[in-house]
Amino acid sequence: MTIMAKAALNKKEASTQLMSGAELILRALKDLGVDVIFGYPGGAVLPIYDALYKQDDIKHILVRHEQAATHAAEGYARATGKPGVVLVTSGPGATNAVTGLTDAMLDSIPMICITGQVARHLIGSDAFQEADTVGITRHCTKHNYLVKDAADIVDVFHEAFYVATKGRPGPVVIDMPKDVQIEKAVYHLGAITEHKTYKPQTDGDEAAIREAVALLAAAERPIIYAGGGIINSGPEASALLTEFAQVTGMPVTNTLMGLGCYPASDKQFLGMLGMHGTWEANHSMHDCDVMLAIGARFDDRVTGRLEAFSPGSKKIHVDIDLSSINKTVHVDVPIIGDARSVLRRFLDIWAEEGYGRRQPTLDGWWQQIAEWREKKCLSYTDSDSVIIPQKALERLHALTQGRDTIISTEVGQHQMWAAQYLGFDKPNHWLTSGGLGTMGYGLPAAVGAQIAFPDSLCIDVAGEASIQMNIQELGTIVQYNLPVKIFIMNNEFMGMVRQWQDMSYEGRRSETYSSALPDFVALAEAYGIKGLRVEDPAKLDATIQEMIDHDGPVMLDCRIAKLENVFPMVPAGAAHNEMLLSSDAPSKPTDDEALAVV
Amino acid sequence: MMDGSMKDIGTSVQHTIGLIVDDEAGVLARVIGLFSGRGYNIESLTVAAVANSGKRSRVTIVTSGTQMAIEQVKAQLDRLVPVHDVTDLTTDGPFVSRDLALVKVSGGGEHRIEALRIAEAFRANVVDSTINSFIFELTGSAEKLNAFVELMRELGLVEVARTGAAALSRGETGLQD
């Protein structure tokens, strides 16, 4: 049935379909293809929860804190490519969601967050659990709405999904006064194909694309720098990126958010770039003559010192968001468009012009890259007496091969090691908080991914500090019997901050020791979850295997070397080609200006 | 440009930006919040519903920044959902910009006569008068208004209220709504 015919039919039945605002919300969500929402009830959303109770189309996942609902929705969105949906109450429910909204904003994750609000006549009166949600979330959402009339609900929800998913994705808040949830209005089938003002450009400018392809074809030292925008553009964009790299023979590096958009096991992959990127990726970025940045935004963690960032290259920047162009780094060929559509044109034009695989002219470049690779920048000194964190992740990677493994992380050293040592060959299998760097992201994100993919192996690679920021979600995984594995890399420090204190603050470890840690095994068992602990390197493999094999959730307390640092590292205020390796002596004192920037 | 950094490129220049936005609750907060949140300057901002285009308002913002910063301002404004159209009047061709000022001056004798004489020269209207004071109303470019206010300072200036710039491009075409 066409949309027109459907609409006509609905118009006919519409006259009889008077629904409450709460029912309209759920019906609109169903029409929009939503089958799961993450939420927490409260006074101002009671009518919606009552409507939820009376239906079976949409499954509600009860989290233990509203922040976790937002991260679960992010994990769900990142793993499925569909928007994540959150339902929270007014006041503290909404303010607790702010961190996750901001996280989704910075990482361009499509999310719809429905917040309860006090009744219309109470707005502005400092009513119980009233907060100016639209005001508070204006800065951390792509857009937000206060719905003042039940008759607007369907159209607002359809528009909100359109805004959240089109162009550069992001979070959208819909604030729903309680009396509007009760008010009755006529249902109609919403539809939106084009918005009156928000019309993101998806097809790149043809002349600019041709100019870019010609630049790449003539390049002697090209590099593809691909980010999370490829993942947002969908699996086809990853496939096209891979095809383009294979056809052209060019090296590829990924941002933290882009990991998995190009197969890490491929020989043209240089690893992640940036502050904790590989020697070969950062040196290639610094020395390249043509850079193709696609779905990436020249983040300060990627560029290092701006003045010294890839000084000799022509830069091509493909991005769906005009405001990403020339924001921090000047580019020579900007292309506004969707990565998938633009890559398709790149491939077509490359073939049409008969450029082919320019292996002879890139030989010298690959030879140089091979020399950089010889540095073996991710090597580390193993130990028989203590588990080295890099080793732990290498073993986790090896022992999870052949399974559909989805990794989420918290934020800190373990996150960087996970990015470095768990090679991702597929998109949508790596869930991490890149832009905002939100500790406490990983466990709820794993919940969201596991809900979407019950049969996948969902592992939260955590630190002992981060995991405590949303540890209450152990309750959620038990309630829904989610076989999430929590791999805690326990070094008894807020390791990344401790590393910075050691490197830049003369080792004054101010408040970074994780005192009074719980017994994680006993804690897991208190929730009815299997708890494991490993301290002996000889038992590492067996313990990881036991975690993987267990049919249910597991929390593994992996005791690792306490003072290991993350390398390579572009230190504060340095350029890409001024990286430190683990073998390097302690860095020179950092000046105040550099400390302030990074 | 070989320098990778955009921060220092170009000098800071004043730009007048025109916007058509949906006339809805909170739209001005979105615009202003964008400027404050990203650290852009606002030298003046005017907004009012524009009658001939239904539920639309026109915003005129005078801001200053490097060319790169201004491009960012435009791109950021353009991706706000209720924004219909954005133009940088300063770069898009000749434009007309007008402020309105109300200027209160008090005093007697020579000062009062001189104030009235200068007001005439500036084509200001007297919109309120007491034995000891005038309120002058005048419109014009920001420079003209500045000059008038400076002269009044010597002649018993009490207070000034200004609207900020309202601006349109010259010629036949205009912003889309």
CATH of the domain at B89: 3.30.70.260
Check: CB of residue A251 under 8 Å from CB of residue A283: no
Say what the pLDDT of residue A359 is: 58
Give the model's confidence band at A356: pLDDT under 50 very low, under 70 low, under 90 confident, else very high.
confident
The Cβ-side half-sphere exposure at A210, using a 13 Å CA radius, reads 5
- Please tell me the predicted confidence (pLDDT) of residue A583: 74
What single string gives the DSSP state of each residue in A29-60? HHHTT--EEEE---GGGHHHHHHHHT-SSSEE
State which residues of chain B have pLDDT below 50.
1-8
pLDDT in tens, A73-87: 999 999 999 999 999
The per-residue pLDDT for range A126-155, each reduced to its tens digit, is: 999 999 999 999 999 999 999 999 999 999
Q: What is the ipTM of this complex?
A: 0.89
Q: Determine phi and psi for B50, rounding to 5 degrees.
A: -110, 120
A-chain residues near B33 (CB < 8 A): 138-139
Residue A589's pLDDT band (cuts 50, 70, 90): low
Question: For the purposes of burial, counting CB atoms within 10 Å of the CB of A118, is it exposed (0-12), middle (13-18) or buried (19 or more)?
Answer: buried
Half-sphere exposure of A447 (CA within 13 A, CB side): 35
Best of A330, A332, A333, A597 to disrupt the B interface by mutation (most B CBs within 10 Å)? A330
More confident residue, A515 or A591: A515
pLDDT at B2: 35
Q: Which residues of B touch A (CB under 8 A)?
A: 1-7, 9, 22, 25-26, 29-30, 33, 37, 68, 71-72, 75-76, 78-84
pLDDT at A480: 98
Query: Are domains A206-373 and A389-559 of this chain identical in fold?
Result: yes
Residues of A with a Cβ under 8 Å from any B Cβ are 134-135, 138-139, 142-143, 146, 163, 167-168, 195-198, 303, 306-312, 321-323, 325-330
Q: Which residue has the tokens 């609207």?
A: B163
Domain assignments of chain A as residue spans, ordered by start: 17-186, 206-373, 389-559
B79 to chain A: which residues are within 8 Å by CB? 167-168, 198, 321-323
Asked if A134 lies within 8 A of B26 by C-beta distance, the reply is yes
Residue partners of A418: CB distance under 8 A and separation at least 6: A393, A407, A409, A432, A461
Q: Give A25-54 pLDDT, tens digit per residue.
A: 999 999 999 999 999 999 999 999 999 999
* Final residue before a domain boundary, out of B62, B78, B93: B93
Between CA A324 and CA A336 the distance in angstroms is 9
Q: What is the pLDDT of residues A488-511, one digit of tens each?
A: 999 999 999 999 999 999 999 999
Are residue B105 and residue B41 in the same domain, yes or no? no
Could you tell me if B48 and B74 lie in one domain? yes
User: pLDDT, tens digit, for every residue of A212-267?
Assistant: 999 999 999 999 999 999 999 999 999 999 999 999 999 999 999 999 999 999 99
Nearest CA in chain B to A197: B84
* Residue at B160 is within a domain: yes
Residues 6+ apart with CB under 8 A from B89: B15, B16, B17, B18, B95, B97, B167, B168, B169
Q: Say whether both B20 and B81 belong to one domain.
A: yes
Report how far residue A424's alpha carbon sits from residue A136's, in angstroms, rounded to the nearest whole number.
37
Contact A146 B5 (CB under 8 A): no
Pairing state between β A143-146 and A171-177: parallel
Chain B interface test: which of A146, A299, A325, A326 (most B C-beta within 10 Å): A326
Residue B128, in any domain of the structure:
yes
Per-residue pLDDT tens digits for A435-479: 999 999 999 999 999 999 999 999 999 999 999 999 999 999 999
**Residue A29 is encoded by which pair of tokens?**
């969500």
Task: Name the minimum distance, in Å, from the CA of B71 to any CA of chain A.
Answer: 8
Q: Are residues B79 and B103 in the same domain?
A: no
Euclidean distance between CA atoms A463 and A564, whole angstroms:
13
Examine the domain organization and report whether B63 and B135 are in the same domain.
Answer: no
Residue A187 has pLDDT above 70, yes or no: yes
Q: Exposed, middle or buried: residue A514 (CB in 10 Å: 0-12, 13-18, 19+)?
A: middle
Distance of CA A547 to the CA centre of its chain: 25
A415 is catalytic: no
The verdict on a CB contact (< 8 Å) between B26 and A328 is no
Any domain includes B177: no
**Residues B111, B122: one domain?**
yes
Pick from B6, B33, B81: which is nearest to A328 by CB? B6
The amino acid sitting at B52 is N
Give pLDDT, residue A10: 54
Same domain flag for B52 and B85 = yes
Assign A190 a pLDDT band (cuts: 50, 70, 90): confident
Instruction: Work out the number of other CB atoms within 10 angstroms of the CB of residue A422.
Output: 22
What pLDDT score was predicted for residue A13? 53
Calpha distance B177→B175 (Å, rounded): 7
CB-based contacts of B170, cutoff 8 Å, min separation 6 = B93, B94, B95, B96
In sequence order, what are the residues at sequence separation of 6 or more whose Cβ sits closer than 8 angstroms to the Cβ of residue B20? B50, B53, B56, B57, B58, B59, B83, B84, B85, B175, B176, B177
Residue B139, in any domain of the structure: yes
**Domain end residue (candidates: B76, B93, B110):** B93
Q: Could you read off the pLDDT of A523-564 as tens digits, one per residue? A: 999 999 999 999 999 999 999 999 999 999 999 999 999 999
Q: Look at residue A366 in the predicted model and tell me its pLDDT.
A: 96
Closest-CA distance, B77 to chain A, in angstroms, reads 9
Least confident interval from A289-293, A301-305, B95-99:
A301-305
On whether residue B174 sits in a domain, the answer given is no
The one catalytic residue among A166, A178, A315, A391: A178
**B21 to chain A: closest CA residue:** A197
Residue A4 has pLDDT above 70, yes or no: no
pLDDT tier at A328 (50, 70, 90 boundaries)? very high
Q: How far is A135 from chain B (nearest CA, A)?
A: 8
CATH of the domain at B138: 3.30.70.1150
**What span, in angstroms and rounded, lies between the C-alpha atoms of A282 and A276?**
9
Least confident of A2-16, A198-212, A526-540: A2-16
Is residue B171 in some structural domain? no
Q: pTM here?
A: 0.94
- The residue of chain A with its CA nearest to that of B75 is A323
Rounded mean pLDDT, A284-292: 98
**Which of B30, B58, B93 represents a domain boundary (last residue)?**
B93
Structural domain contains residue B59 = yes
Mean pLDDT of the residues in chain A: 95
> Spelled out in words, what is the top-level CATH class assigned to the domain A17-186?
alpha beta
Q: Kindly report the nearest CA distance between residue A117 and chain B, in angstroms.
A: 16
Q: In chain B, which residues have their Cβ closer than 8 Å to the Cβ of A306?
A: 4-7
Q: Is residue B42 a contact partner of residue B64, using CB atoms and an 8 Å limit?
A: no
What is the count of structural domains for chain B? Answer: 2
Across the interface, which of B3, B26, B72 has its CB nearest the CB of A323? B72
Whole-angstrom CA distances from A552 to A272, A481, A508, A547 are 32, 7, 41, 9
Is B60 in the same domain as B26? yes
CATH numeric code, A206-373: 3.40.50.1220
Do the domain assignments include residue B153?
yes
Domain residue limits at B111 = 96-166
Spatial separation of the C-alpha atoms in residues A502 and A4, rounded to whole Å: 65
CATH number of A389-559: 3.40.50.970
Pairwise CB contact (< 8 Å): B81 & A142? yes
Among the partner-chain residues A143, A197, A306, the one whose CB lies closest to the CB of B7 is A306
CA distance B107 to A247: 83
pLDDT tens digit sequence for A381-395: 999 999 999 999 999
CA distance B50 to chain A (A): 17
Dihedral angle of Cα A342, A347, A350, A354, to the nearest 10 degrees: -160
